[in-house]
Structure 1
């Protein structure tokens, strides 16, 4: 891949790579690898946090629902579906 970088950025990369005793390609590759890992970590953590919130909020709504059997029905249905997915070898 060939990309255009303004001269000032090229000079900063050359100087930083030289100080790090790395080639320019290796230096830029390491920056891109670190940068590309961060969004996945953030997205996964955010997804996990939202999942916990939704689980707690849903359970609270079910506890307050006039149909007192609804919460148990939702929980048992969830367990059954989870068991079927595991039996099929699905992990997500």
Structure 2
């Protein structure tokens, strides 16, 4: 096991009291409490970064699918099908409590 490294920070006496009380309530030392807090903060930051990347990838794929489906509907022999699909989309969004906007499945596309 490697030797722990000392990390020194300056905090107010009020914050020190809060940390002391929080650590005491958990039955651990102040060092253990701060160490756990820092480890959790670093882990959450990494998780947030991966989540942002996943959301961006899903958003790009959703836009591609939306444009592709709208183009297929626009070229379909039944010209009313596209309008019915947009109406069904609006109904489903309303049913789910989601807002619809012109940029998301609006009839002005393709």
Place the TM-score, normalised by the shorter chain, in its bin.
Answer: 0.5 to 0.7
Tell me which residue corresponds to 1:4: none
Could you tell me which of 53, 73, 90 is aligned with 2:84?
73
Q: What does residue 3 of structure 1 align with?
A: none
> Which residue number in structure 2 is paired with residue 64 of structure 1?
75
Provide the secondary structure at the position in 2 that maps to 1:71: helix
RMSD between superposed Cα atoms in Å: 2.5
TM superposition score normalised by structure 2: 0.54
Tell me if 1:29 matches 2:14.
no
Query: Which protein is bigger by CA-based radius of gyration?
Result: 2
Equivalenced residue count is 76
- Aligned pairs for 1:11-30 (under 5 A) are 14-15=4-5, 18-19=6-7, 21=9, 24-30=35-41
- Distance in 1 (alpha carbons) for counterparts of 2:62 and 2:35: 41
Unaligned 5+ segments in structure 2 are 10-30, 100-110
Runs of 4+ in 1 over 2 A off after TM superposition: 18-31
Structure ranking higher in helix proportion:
1
